[in-house]
Amino acid sequence: MKLGPHAFSLRQLQYAVAVADELSFRRAAERCLVSQPSLSAQLAELEGALGVRLFERDRRRVLVTAAGREVVERARRVLVGVDNLGEAAKRSADPLSGTLRIGVIPTISPYLLPLAARALRKKLPKLTLVWVEDKTDSLLASLDAGELDAALLALEAELGDVEHEIIVEDPFVLAAPPGHPLAAKTTPIGRAELAGHAVLLLTEGHCLREQALTYCSSARAEELEFRATSLSTLVQMVAAGAGVTLLPEMSLPTEAARAKLVLRRFKAPVPQRTVALVWRKRSALAPALSQVATVVRSTHA
Predicted confidence (pLDDT) per residue in 122-133, tens digit: 999 989 999 999
Q: Which residues contact 125 (CB under 8 A, 6 or more apart)?
A: none
The residue with greater pLDDT, 243 or 206, is 243
Judged by phi (left if over 0) then psi (alpha if -120 to 50, else beta), residue 180 lies in beta
Cβ pair 37, 15 in contact under 8 A: no
Cβ pair 283, 163 in contact under 8 A: yes
Q: Quick check: 157 pLDDT over 80? A: no
| Highest-confidence segment of 27-41, 151-165, 258-272 | 27-41
User: Tens digits of per-residue pLDDT, 39-73?
Assistant: 999 999 999 999 999 999 887 889 999 999 999 99
Cβ pair 197, 276 in contact under 8 A: no
Domains belonging to the chain, first-starting first, are 10-89 (1.10.10.10), 95-168+274-298 (3.40.190.10), 169-273 (3.40.190.10)
Please give the Cα distance from 276 to 291 (Å, whole number).
13
* pLDDT the model gives residue 17: 95
pLDDT category, 192, cuts 50, 70, 90? confident
